[in-house]
């Protein structure tokens, strides 16, 4: 007998292949109910419809239904159809829902924005406008550098806000800065680079990513003027968080900026600028992008993760002209392609002015949070030093004498507060006084006061008033 099949529900596939079609149908419906593919209350097609789908006689299907009703697998009523009986709801073979890990009750770890501040209404409005005006080809694979609409919008925005010198053709859209860094490392290795110099304090994820790409990692120290670049060997690539060093919070001084540019223009060093939170400057004029000083030698990396939400998976690279084709080829080979709809939506949000308005609101909200953090620490009997507060979404809280960093992090966890010590972001061979890296952007506003009060209690030296 030829194979016959039908799909009912949305995901149930039935095949009738043997010489006993009625028995095949009964057995497969029973099994579908046992393993949860047919849930209690799920309606089955009429015997006429199912017979047509399976190319069987209607009586064959009707008799199979009658038998399953008699056994209690199905229920039926004249005029109401046939459905799965309710009393089989406790089948132990039904797939179980996976529980997501519970987030900490209070979270002051750095690196995450307040996602509750995501501009849902503005984003939805921009998405509607973008889709209404998009051509059919805009929803295809398109230019591997990213949608021209977004690259054009970013070229204008980054030039206006960050001082970046970029033509749209030199911008490559990628699914986040981490993926962009991986692409750059692959290209640098293929172009003959063997080592990337990184700041001695930074995200361990990035150090691991660079090593996995085949480049050796060395580190340089960071002081009050930012990364020390004088001893970087000629020809190596150098990664800097120039506007707001992560996690120490200092800005690369003008003297160090000139030294870094001199390395790039005279020694062939490729500079990678991670401008992860450059839009959030509070107490003085924003520090412009390093890229503007040597656009032919600096790779500029930016992201929407801090300004909008990490879940968008949107980042960008502004590349020197000779590197564009190589990075695009690496991106195509990797299959790392961000969503077309989200690219078009972000382009519309930027060009309509909605992105600027959102950033201004966030800047004001985060500045107020920073001020509350500083004020909370100043209320302590022995106030700790708080640094790196001129910009960004985090600050460094130096622990008072006699307060152990690891024990403070553990105490915070026992009180439901997730926080990171500076050691988490310190590369081997570098040491500083114990400190906490406090991200003040993460908690929703309703929990921020509680988070600060908990932080104060765990930082306070034991026995202090």
Tens digit of each residue's pLDDT (9 = 90 or more) over 391-400: 999 999 999 8
Residue 315 predicted with pLDDT over 60 = yes
Per-residue pLDDT at 7: 60
Measured distance CA(357)–CA(423) in Å, rounded: 36
Summarize pLDDT for 248-296 with one digit per residue, the tens.
Answer: 999 999 999 999 999 999 988 899 999 998 889 897 777 889 999 999 9
The string of DSSP codes covering 104-171 is: PSEE--SS---GGG--HHHHHHHHHHHHHH--GGGGSS--TT--HHHHHHHHHHHHHHT-----GGGE
> Could you identify the residue written with the tokens 């309710």?
86
Per-residue pLDDT at 2: 52
Q: Can you name the residues that pair with 397 across neighbouring β-strands? A: 386, 436
Per-residue pLDDT at 90: 46
Summarize pLDDT for 48-100 with one digit per residue, the tens.
Answer: 888 888 888 889 888 889 899 888 899 988 888 899 988 654 444 444 555 55
> Could you identify the residue written with the tokens 């929803």?
139
Q: Tell me if the bond preceding 68 is cis, omega within 30° of 0.
A: no
Per-residue pLDDT at 119: 95
Per-residue pLDDT at 267: 86
Contact 31, 15 (CB under 8 A): no
pTM for this one? 0.79
> What are the structural domains, with CATH classification, of the chain?
4-88 (1.10.10.10), 118-355 (3.40.640.10), 357-459 (3.90.1150.10)
Q: Does an H or E element contain 387, and which?
A: strand 386-387
Lowest mean pLDDT among 54-58, 225-229, 339-343, 359-363: 54-58
Residue 4 predicted with pLDDT over 70 = no
Summarize pLDDT for 408-451 with one digit per residue, the tens.
Answer: 999 999 999 999 999 999 999 999 999 999 999 988 888 999 99
CA-based torsion, 255, 259, 264, 269: positive or negative: negative
Cβ density class 272-300: b for 16+ within 10 Å, e for less: bbbbbbbbbbbeeeebbbbbbbbbebbbb
């Amino acid at each position: 007998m030829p194979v016959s099949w039908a799909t009912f529900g949305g995901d149930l596939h039935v095949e009738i292949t043997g010489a006993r079609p009625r028995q095949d149908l009964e057995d497969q419906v029973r099994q579908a109910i046992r393993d949860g593919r047919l849930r209690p209350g799920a309606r089955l097609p009429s015997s006429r419809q199912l017979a047509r789908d399976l190319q069987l006689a209607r009586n064959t299907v009707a008799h199979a239904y009658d038998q399953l009703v008699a056994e209690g697998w199905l229920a039926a009523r004249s005029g109401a159809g046939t459905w799965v009986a309710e009393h089989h709801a406790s089948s132990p073979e039904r797939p179980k829902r996976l529980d997501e890990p519970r987030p900490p009750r209070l979270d002051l770890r750095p690196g995450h924005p307040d996602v509750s501040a995501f501009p849902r209404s503005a984003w939805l409005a921009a998405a509607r406008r973008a889709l209404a005006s998009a051509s059919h080809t805009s929803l295809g694979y398109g230019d591997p550098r990213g949608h021209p609409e977004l690259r054009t919008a970013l070229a204008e925005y980054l030039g206006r806000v960050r001082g970046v010198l970029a033509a749209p053709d030199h911008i490559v859209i990628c699914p986040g800065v981490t993926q962009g860094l991986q692409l750059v490392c692959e290209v640098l290795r293929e172009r003959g680079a063997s080592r990337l110099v990184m700041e001695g304090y930074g995200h361990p994820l990035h150090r691991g990513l660079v090593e996995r790409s085949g480049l050796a990692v060395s580190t340089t120290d960071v002081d009050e003027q930012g990364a020390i670049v004088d001893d970087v060997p000629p020809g190596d690539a150098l990664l800097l968080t120039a506007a707001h060093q992560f996690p120490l919070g200092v800005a690369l001084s003008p003297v160090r900026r000139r030294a870094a540019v001199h390395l790039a223009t005279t020694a062939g060093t490729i500079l990678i600028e991670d401008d992860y939170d450059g839009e959030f400057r509070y107490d003085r004029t924003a520090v412009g992008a390093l890229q503007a000083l040597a656009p032919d030698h600096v790779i500029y990396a930016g992201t929407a993760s801090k300004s909008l939400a990490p879940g968008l998976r949107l980042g960008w690279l502004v590349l020197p002209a000779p590197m564009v084709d190589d990075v695009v080829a690496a991106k195509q080979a990797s299959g790392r392609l961000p969503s077309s709809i989200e690219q078009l939506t972000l382009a519309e949000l930027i060009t309509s002015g909605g992105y600027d308005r959102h950033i201004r609101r966030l800047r004001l909200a985060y500045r107020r949070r920073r001020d509350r953090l500083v004020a909370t620490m100043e209320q302590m009997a022995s106030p700790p030093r708080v640094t790196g507060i001129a910009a960004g979404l985090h600050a460094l809280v130096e622990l008072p004498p006699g307060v152990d960093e690891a024990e403070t992090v553990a105490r915070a966890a026992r009180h439901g507060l997730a926080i990171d010590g500076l050691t988490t972001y310190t590369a081997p061979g570098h040491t500083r006084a114990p400190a906490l890296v406090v991200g003040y952007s993460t908690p929703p506003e309703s929990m921020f006061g509680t988070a600060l009060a908990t932080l104060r209690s765990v930082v306070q030296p034991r026995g202090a008033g």
